[in-house]
Amino acid sequence: MTQMNHAKHMENAGNAGNAQQAKRTGRGRRAGSATALVASACALALSLSLAPAAVALDADASEQGPVPFTAATVTAGADGSYTLAWSAPGVPYVEIRADGKVVARGGSEGRAVVTGLPAADRQWFDFKPGYGQGLRLADRLVKLQGTVNFRDAGGYRTADGQWVKMGQVYRSESLGKLTEADLATLQRLGITDVYDLRMDAERTKDPDRLPTGATYTVADVLTGSGALQTAPTTPEEAVTLMIDTEKAMAGSAPGKAAYGQVLEGLRHEERRAAVVHCTAGKDRTGWAGAALLSALGVPRETVLADYLASNDYRRATDEALLARLTPEQVALYKPMLEVRPEYLDAGYNEVQAQYGSFDRYVQDGLGIDAAELKELKSELLVGRPV
């Protein structure tokens, strides 16, 4: 596919001028065409707004001891309500507070719907068990005007019963369309560091807008990785391209250097909170989330669920884009707009092939040794192993 034909194809794909953002990477005509095609699927999907409900969790670091909760969620409703659900086997009761006031009580397992709370950037709930350490929970999504996929990367239970803190690390799409109100929200959330995983052409075309005082770090995943060398012309080639790109993100030297840089930065981020993002917040950011959660000990099925959640958060945006395309274009673009289990599996398979285990990948591939990983866990996990 030549660049001229590719440009014509993109024009016919529904006023998709922004799709050329990755075209000027300097890696040749075919590489530029492939990069533009994939980047366009990300960039085009950012043109509308979406704010679905989601679930989330956090921990109360003021307490010490094991966390008895095996599951706990907060789901924000479109009507301003919050649905709380929990499971803490063997605990005699659970009390839930919001803004210092008791809003629900129940036994070891329960569900409650809370209404009438004042509007907030994020509404937090403190789940207090009859014994053991509590959890602080919030809906996972941070609703912003300029993004649809800005969400908390924490709130998951590890295989040994600890919990990943919330409010510490966020994952997102491009921050270039943030409004002044969005920036004020991020300021109130305490965002101090932004890690940008995009290539130079993407960063130049759509530079981030940052909250005041935030430190900006480029951790380019794909430049020099060998990915995106050929533009797909069929749906099957599009799937193959996404799988091969996932392998490059996880296993190439630039990819490992970029993700190692992010984990190292988070390990030292005493001023946290941090945001990690790419263009659509699903592929490069998806592997960043998978690498972080896997390193912290979150089960793979949970990591996969977090990875696939981008499909839910981005659904309205992607469906609106696809509605403007021809059936042939839909078939080509859909694999690149979505995240799929086989994409994430390709990253894990590449790790297995190169290192034999994820632990070795973290240590030898990402450069985080055992002592540094312990420090990262002490920063981001709460509760004692069980």
Q: Where are the CATH 3.90.190.10 domain residues in the chain?
A: 38-51+167-382
pTM (two decimals): 0.85
Catalytic residues: 278
Q: Which residues contact 352 (CB under 8 A, 6 or more apart)?
A: none
Q: Are 262 and 360 in contact (CB under 8 A)?
A: no
Distance from the first to the final alpha carbon of the chain: 55
Q: What distances in angstroms separate CA 360 from CA 245, 355, 357, 363, 367, one per listed residue?
A: 21, 6, 5, 5, 10
Distance CA 137, CA 122 (A): 10
Over residues 294-314, the pLDDT tens digits come to: 999 999 999 999 999 999 999
Over residues 61-97, the pLDDT tens digits come to: 334 689 999 999 999 999 999 999 999 999 999 999 9
Q: What distances in angstroms separate CA 262 from CA 76, 196, 197, 255, 269, one per listed residue?
A: 30, 9, 9, 11, 10
Q: Where are the CATH 2.60.40 domain residues in the chain?
A: 53-140
Query: What distance lies between CA 193 and its chain's CA centroid?
Result: 15
Q: Are 144 and 67 in contact (CB under 8 A)?
A: no
Which of 256, 276, 242, 252 has the alpha carbon at shortest distance from 344? 242
Q: Write down the architecture of domain 38-51+167-382 according to CATH.
A: Alpha-Beta Complex (3.90)
Q: Are 219 and 278 in contact (CB under 8 A)?
A: no
Query: What distance lies between CA 173 and its chain's CA centroid?
Result: 8
Over residues 3-50, the pLDDT tens digits come to: 333 333 333 333 333 333 333 333 344 444 555 555 445 544 443 333
Look at residue 41 in the predicted model and tell me its pLDDT.
Answer: 52
DSSP result, 267-335: HT-TT--EEEE-SSSSSHHHHHHHHHHHHHT--HHHHHHHHHHHHHHTHHHHHHHHTTS-HHHHHHHHH
Q: For the domain made up of 53-140, give the CATH fold.
A: Immunoglobulin-like (2.60.40)
Q: What distances in angstroms separate CA 306 from CA 17, 49, 162, 187, 239, one per listed residue?
A: 31, 20, 17, 25, 20
Half-sphere exposure of 106 (CA within 13 A, CB side): 18
Give the pLDDT mean for 290-294. Answer: 98
Distance CA 230, CA 228 (A): 6
Distance CA 293, CA 302 (A): 9
Mean pLDDT over each residue of the chain, to the nearest integer: 87
The H or E element that residue 164 is part of is strand 163-164
Distance CA 378, CA 386 (A): 16
Look at residue 115 in the predicted model and tell me its pLDDT.
Answer: 97
Length of the chain as a residue count:
386
Q: How confident is the model at residue 228 (pLDDT cuts 50, 70, 90)?
A: confident
Look at residue 13 in the predicted model and tell me its pLDDT.
Answer: 36
Over residues 138-165, the pLDDT tens digits come to: 999 999 999 999 999 999 999 999 999 9
Give the pLDDT mean for 177-195. Answer: 97
Distance CA 286, CA 173 (A): 10
- Among 167-171, 227-231, 367-371, the minimum mean pLDDT is found in 227-231
Phi, psi values for residue 236, rounded to 5°: -65, -40
Look at residue 64 in the predicted model and tell me its pLDDT.
Answer: 64
Which of 24, 78, 76, 21 has the alpha carbon at shortest distance from 45? 21
